[in-house]
Amino acid sequence: MSNNNISIGFAGDVMIGRGVNAAITDKGYSYPWGNMLPILKNTDINIINLEAALTNSNKKVYKVFNFKASPDRIKTLEEACVTIVNLANNHILDFSEEGLIETIQTLDNSGIKHTGAGRNENEAEKPVILTVKNSTLGMLGFTDNEPGWKAGNSASGVNYIDISNADDCKKALTAISTLDKKTDLVIVSIHWGPNMNEEPERHFIDFAHAMIEHGADIIHGHSAHNFQGIEIYRHKLILYDTGDFVDDYAVDPYFRNDHSFFFKVEASQQGIEKVVLIPVLISKYQVNLASGEDYKWSIQRMQKLSSKFGTKLSDEGEVLLF
């Protein structure tokens, strides 16, 4: 890797509440990362979707699943060298505004950057901008989940977008174009679509293309709880869904949502230089490197899903870019 290239690690949903939170109590802050820890520590930047509030709040909102972890679990994120978290999702307000604000304060105190939710609309829409190795990186967070959680002028919430709404799309694309003028590399982290969807729907593909056309370099998708295919579009990278990375969820026998990847991207001011997928497996509230049949299943499934976009993936997990 060139000394000026940035190595960026992308993971999907990180849910460190419930069973994972209890496992941390028993086994320590670094337990959820298993033997992935050296890999997580060997990147310049790590980006995740944080699928649990970090709060002591008990103001549970009415829904099927509510996820939170103790605020001291920020040390678990620090152990994994997490740099930026997306907060635009359907769990960050599971414990009301109080839980969101405590999460933001906890992240701020640790120095972990965040985007996609805030105390008001301006905070929720505000991008993260970082300078790494003489390159400037910007990231925006969006979600199409929980429209009732949309942030307002004086109301806390998420950076909500309705992808079928032309005005919402125009506003998002304008934000991407604006960020593109300020930075060398634009990342859009987006929590979109229904659970257990094998492939993105056509309007998601169209919007991903539009985001690239307006200046995004990398689309970091998540929400389905299973990984979807990869597309190289105009020499840019679309990760339609990065799946789950660590959680305590029940495993679907078809989608096998305990299987996913750590997506390692090498980028320069000129764009994407290299993409390598590292297969992982969740078991006993911990993520580890996949091996044997688990490794083979994930690679072959990703090869099949990505081939529909004309993307080729080697048996070693390297995306053949151009």
Helices within 10-129 (DSSP H only): 18-27, 37-40, 74-79, 96-110, 121-125
Write the pLDDT tens digit of every residue in 256-278.
999 999 999 999 988 999 999 99
User: Would you call 213 helix, strand, or coil by DSSP?
Assistant: helix
- Confidence at residue 269, expressed as pLDDT on a 0 to 100 scale: 86
Name the β-bridge partners of 274: 266
pTM above 0.85, yes or no: yes
Q: Which amino acid is at 133?
A: K
Name the DSSP class of 56.
-
Contact between residue 53 and residue 99 where contact means Cβ atoms under 8 Å apart: yes
What single DSSP character describes residue 227?
Answer: B
CATH numeric code, 6-320:
3.60.21.10
For Cα atoms 304, 305, 311, give the angle at the middle one, nearest 5 degrees. Answer: 85
| Cα–chain center distance at 18 | 20
Over residues 38-71, the pLDDT tens digits come to 999 999 999 999 999 999 999 999 999 999 999 9
Task: Give percent above pLDDT 90 in the chain.
Answer: 97
- In the numeric block, which tokens belong to residue 140? 């925006």
